[in-house]
Amino acid sequence: MDIKEASEILLQQLESWYTSIVAGIPNFVLAVLVVLIFGILSKKVKTLTNKLVFRFSNNDSLASLSAVVTAYIVLLVGMFIGLDILNLDKAVTSLLAGAGIIGLALGFAFQDLTSNFISGVFIAVQRPIRIGDVIETNGYFGQVKAINIRSTIIYNFAGQEIEIPSKDIFQKAILNYSKTGERRMQLNCGVSYSEDLQKAQDIAIAAINTLPFLQKDKPVELHYDGFGDSSINFKIWYWLDQEKAGPPHAGSEAIKAVKKAFDENDITIPFPIRTLELMDRKEILAPFMKNGN
Q: How many domains in the chain? A: 3
Distance CA 279, CA 291 (A): 20
**Does 46 share its domain with 70?**
yes
Asked whether residue 74 carries a pLDDT value surpassing 80, the answer given is: yes
Whether the pLDDT of residue 80 is over 70: the answer is yes
3-class DSSP state of 127: coil
Q: Residue 17 phi/psi, 5° resolution?
A: -65, -45
65 shares a domain with 21: yes
- pTM value is 0.53
Q: Are residues 164 and 192 in the same domain?
A: no
**Residues making up the chain, counted from first to last:** 293
31 and 105 in a single domain? The answer is yes
95-99, 127-131, 251-255: range with highest mean pLDDT = 251-255
234 belongs to a structural domain: yes
- Find out whether 72 and 44 touch, Cβ atoms under 8 Å: no
In the predicted model, what is the mean pLDDT of residues 66-89? 81
Write out the residue range of the structural domain in which residue 140 sits. 129-176
- Residue 144 contacts by C-beta under 8 Å, 6 or more apart in sequence? 129, 130, 131, 132, 133, 134, 135, 152, 153, 154
Q: Is residue 278 included in any domain, yes or no?
A: no
pLDDT value for 286: 66
Whether residues 86 and 162 fall in one domain: no
Task: Specify whether the CB–CB gap between 203 and 186 falls below 8 A.
Answer: no
Angle at the Cα of 153 from the Cα atoms of 123 and 133, rounded to 5 degrees = 70
Is pLDDT above 60 for 291?
Answer: no
> CB of 135 within 8 A of CB of 174?
yes
90 and 46 both lie in a single domain: yes
Which of the given ranges, 100-104, 186-190, 267-271, has the highest pLDDT on average?
A: 186-190
| Residue 138: CATH number of its domain | 2.30.30.60
CATH number for the domain including 18? Answer: 1.10.287
What percent of the chain stands above pLDDT 90? 26
Cα–Cα distance list, 258 to 9, 33, 234, 269 (Å): 108, 80, 12, 10
- Say yes or no to pLDDT of 259 above 70: yes
For residue 33, is it within any domain?
yes
State the CATH number of the domain containing residue 225: 3.30.70.100
pLDDT surpasses 60 at 109: no
What's the mean per-residue pLDDT of the chain? Answer: 81
